[in-house]
Amino acid sequence: MINRYSRQELFLGKEAQRKVQDSSVIIIGAGALGSSSAEMLARAGVGKLTIVDRDYVEWSNLQRQQLYSEDDAKNKLPKAAAAKNRLQQINSEITINRLIEDVNGLNIEEMIKGHGVIVDATDNFETRLIVNDAAVKHSIPFIMGACVASYGTIFPIIPRETPCLHCLLNHLPIDGMTCETVGVLSPIVQIVASWQVTHVLKILAGVQVPPVLKSIDIWKDENSAIDVARLKDENCPTCGVEAAFPYLQYGNQTKTEVLCGRDAVQIRPAAARTFELKVFMEKLKDIITKPLINPFLLSCGFEDYRIVFFQDGRAIIHGTNDTMIARSVYNRFLQYYTESSLS
């Protein structure tokens, strides 16, 4: 164990390696980018890793999300839990925390507290803007990354030094493509994750990271690197002189969200509750089909839909992209539980 990090230390130096081992990094999202970044950071010896994800492992994840196994998919294990299980096998010396939660403006500030760097591995732009606001507000470097099809992009956000994500909104290609609608090649995931982890290691080692927006298309053999320092906006609502952090405000939070390309809608209740899942399943046994339960969630058939119900009352309604229908199904689902509890 003494020589575990010897090859990395030869490059970084002993003092930089010590800083890495004393550091704390949070990864928002444990999908393709998140799992790849988490493994590299765990192997690098980052002292504390926090992994946040709202979803569970599905078969389609296994093509590119390298921490997960077929057993994880069979058991619908939450990604954050499955990631922690695997990472502890990779490096037992570090501390790994998992949060099976949906990131929003009401919980993000508490999540990132005490961390030195935030790694973006989210699957939607709204969540990135929420994390961006929190990172800037609390002066924590935020390494943005995204990939779809054969294209990837990365940008390091260093509060008070670089433009933030909000500054770049009008300059980024946001065309609505997702890996569920156009697919994704696993090599682009590894490239973007490698860029992100390299930036993380530089920051932890005390090396300056320039405000360069990088992009690459591995299928078309195209790449670019643009210095965007001049795009920092003094009137930006996130990092400007009168910053208001709009994406942290309650009124801007989405409670119902279509999961692109999955024929599913996520419902997040206004107030979180804690449900005993075994009790919940028992009370609904006469109206649900094919229940599958683990310590984190209950998956079952209900009417013409499949519902994945989490301990905090959050649910993913499979079988519709209509938020109104999904909300109605969710309400009926909870109504049966409430009525059975009162009877």
Domain range list for the chain: 6-251, 255-342
Q: Mean per-residue pLDDT for 92-107?
A: 92
Q: Mean per-residue pLDDT for 240-254?
A: 82
Alpha carbons 78 and 297: distance in angstroms, whole number: 8
pLDDT at 127: 86
> Minimal CA–CA distance to 160: which of 55, 234, 105?
234
Of 62-66, 313-317, 331-335, the poorest mean pLDDT is in 331-335
Tell whether the torsion through CA atoms of 227, 231, 237 and 240 is positive or negative: positive
Of 151-165, 181-195, 233-247, the poorest mean pLDDT is in 181-195
Tokens of 148: 């779809």
pLDDT at 183: 77
pLDDT at 218: 94
Alpha carbons 47 and 29: distance in angstroms, whole number: 19
Pairing of strands 315-318, 48-52: unpaired
> Minimal CA–CA distance to 85: which of 96, 74, 76, 75?
96
Q: pLDDT tens digit string along 284-327?
A: 998 999 999 999 999 999 999 999 999 988 999 999 998 888 98
Alpha carbons 343 and 332: distance in angstroms, whole number: 16
Alpha carbons 166 and 129: distance in angstroms, whole number: 7
From the candidates 164, 179, 236, 300, give the one annotated as an active-site residue: 179
Domain 255-342 in CATH 3.30.310? The answer is: yes
Mean pLDDT of all residues belonging to the chain: 90
Say what the pTM is.
0.80
pLDDT at 149: 87
pLDDT at 270: 63
Residue 179 annotated as catalytic = yes
Highest mean pLDDT, choosing among 23-27, 73-77, 124-128, 245-249:
23-27
> Minimal CA–CA distance to 83: which of 64, 102, 93, 96?
96
pLDDT at 252: 66
- In the 8-state DSSP scheme, what is residue 116? S
Which residues have a Cβ under 8 Å from the Cβ of 153 and sit 6 or more positions away?
145, 146, 147, 172, 192, 213, 214, 215, 216
Q: What is the share, in percent, of the chain residues with pLDDT greater than 90?
A: 69
pLDDT, greater one: 77 or 252: 77
Task: Write down the architecture of domain 6-251 according to CATH.
Answer: 3-Layer(aba) Sandwich (3.40)
CB atoms within 10 A of CB 186: 14
Q: Is 160 exposed, middle or buried (0-12, 13-18, 19+ CB in 10 A)?
A: exposed
pLDDT at 278: 92
Q: Mean per-residue pLDDT for 149-174?
A: 87
